[in-house]
A and B are shown apart, each in its own frame.
Chain A
């Protein structure tokens, strides 16, 4: 669905942001992108819906090249981005109105808009907030609303840029649960995060450093084979602990990604 080849990006002041990045993302995949601040993650995802255009190389979404302006509406309909601070993305006076804004702009008939608003509120679990003002919502509720807005556009791919970083643990879990429901509907989800606990059940984990992809494999393989500290990424504490135990002479404790996996290994 997304085909990125030799993508380079240089900012107008000459700062290189991406250096020859190539990757393909298939429909329905759940991909996590991690890396230190300034590693190029945010620049990369802004290329996927043509918010940034390549300085070199190419980006295709559903076969459409982002360098051609005429494709931008179709590309932006296919790929929706939710940012860290959703406040700047709200337009409507109520939750319902805000979600309806996207499909209305696409010129859909009002019965269809209603359906889309309803189903995206349901997926995100915010039906009871329908008549609230977006400004009056909590941080987690705001993020769920922002994601619902993208869902209502029937985007095939949703990109989440650090959406949980400002949330408390409870709201974070609610947002992650909602994201899981989206994945069950076969929507492609690309998630940028500092917190690799969120990558444990991803199909792929991509690590970026200095504008390049340095690892691209299953989370288990990435945790096992790479020294992630070098790339400024924090491996989940439980995985780090199991790695330390294994290298200190407890080889039968394999790499555990979750607390339960490690408990089981230790109890044997």
Chain B
């Protein structure tokens, strides 16, 4: 059970003067239950790539399958849920409930079934039932994004694809969203995050891909990503790597502050820590 992309090429406006190659010979495979990051600069083909996962775009050559089906088959749409960068454009219900009911309704569900789906989505994200009656437009930026995600989840997708989910969010809303994604992933939903800034989520990821001008230039674990050398790294990772090159015995594949703190405390020695805390 996986999304398999094989030798995909994609050009916008083929055969016209505006023809532009967006993807070149891209192959990858995303297994069920994985947490995957797809990084790359703006314009590197990330958004074009994910639009192939549920048939919004079809490759000029090559093939994309989802759980063995062609991605262009209608059945795939409900399996691969997609959240675009600007959730405000995806919100149109008067209440959160209406908003979340929209997708299941469109897939032909009725009354109690719809309600069941909506509650399933709210529960998965750790959102209370109270929020159902609110107007989506009155929510904070992070909550809006969570509601947009819930709207996608109400269709019970196996794969959730998010395009730049953290952009424009402040620290609180960012951590709200990151913990929601972690919760979803632990419930077995495959998470695919596209971002030009992978640093916030490297510690959650199982696998990282990097696109450069339409080509897949890196595929590996976060630790392999950290060791690659020419891909953008979080400042904390740069710090740890530099400590290593200066001869300190620390790991270089550390992406967040808490882990760096533990590693440096260990390096500096427990004695000093205890000694100083006792003062």
Footprint of B on A, CB under 8 Å?
35-38, 84, 138-140, 162, 165-171, 194, 197, 229, 232-234, 236-238, 240-241, 244-245, 248-251, 259, 262-263, 266-267
Is B41 in contact with A194, judged by CB distance below 8 angstroms? no
Residues of A within 8 A of B238 (CB): 259
Footprint of A on B, CB under 8 Å?
41-43, 140-142, 167-174, 196-197, 232, 234-236, 238-239, 242-243, 246, 248, 256-257, 260-261, 264-265, 268, 272-277
Q: A38-B140, A259-B235, A266-B268 are in contact. List 5 more A-B contacts (CB 8 A).
A: A169-B232, A234-B174, A237-B234, A248-B277, A259-B238
| Minimum distance in angstroms from B259 CB to a CB of chain A | 10
Residues of A within 8 A of B174 (CB): 234
| Minimum distance in angstroms from A15 CB to a CB of chain B | 10
| Minimum distance in angstroms from A14 CB to a CB of chain B | 13
| Minimum distance in angstroms from B7 CB to a CB of chain A | 27
Is B42 in contact with A168, judged by CB distance below 8 angstroms? yes
Give A35 to B172 CA distance when docked, in angstroms: 11
Is A36 in contact with B275, judged by CB distance below 8 angstroms? no
Residues of A within 8 A of B167 (CB): 165-166
Residues of A within 8 A of B276 (CB): 248-251
Give A244 to B170 CA distance when docked, in angstroms: 21
Q: Please name 24 pairs of A and B residues whose Cβ atoms are closer than 8 Å in the assembled complex, sorted by A.
A: A36-B173, A37-B169, A37-B170, A37-B173, A165-B168, A167-B42, A169-B196, A171-B42, A233-B171, A237-B235, A241-B260, A241-B264, A245-B265, A248-B265, A248-B276, A249-B274, A249-B275, A250-B265, A250-B276, A259-B239, A259-B242, A266-B248, A266-B264, A266-B268
| Minimum distance in angstroms from A243 CB to a CB of chain B | 10
Q: A36-B172, A167-B42, A168-B42 are in contact. Are A238 and B236 (CB under 8 A)?
A: yes
Give A21 to B168 CA distance when docked, in angstroms: 25
| Minimum distance in angstroms from A177 CB to a CB of chain B | 16
Give A241 to B246 CA distance when docked, in angstroms: 19
Pick the 7 closest A-B CB pairs, nearest first: A249-B276, A168-B196, A234-B171, A232-B172, A168-B41, A36-B170, A249-B273
Is A194 in contact with B42, judged by CB distance below 8 angstroms? no
Give A37 to B167 CA distance when docked, in angstroms: 12
Is A248 in contact with B236, judged by CB distance below 8 angstroms? no
Is A263 in contact with B242, judged by CB distance below 8 angstroms? yes
Give A36 to B197 CA distance when docked, in angstroms: 20
The residue on A at minimum CB distance from B258 is A244
Residues of A within 8 A of B171 (CB): 36, 194, 229, 232-234
Residues of B within 8 A of A36 (CB): 170-173
Give A267 to B172 CA distance when docked, in angstroms: 33
Residues of A within 8 A of B172 (CB): 36, 232
Q: A166-B167, A250-B268, A266-B243 are in contact. Are A244 and B277 (CB under 8 A)?
A: no
The residue on B at minimum CB distance from A196 is B171
Residues of A within 8 A of B170 (CB): 35-37, 194, 232-234
Give A36 to B176 CA distance when docked, in angstroms: 13
The residue on B at minimum CB distance from A244 is B261
Give A139 to B234 CA distance when docked, in angstroms: 22
The residue on B at minimum CB distance from A229 is B171
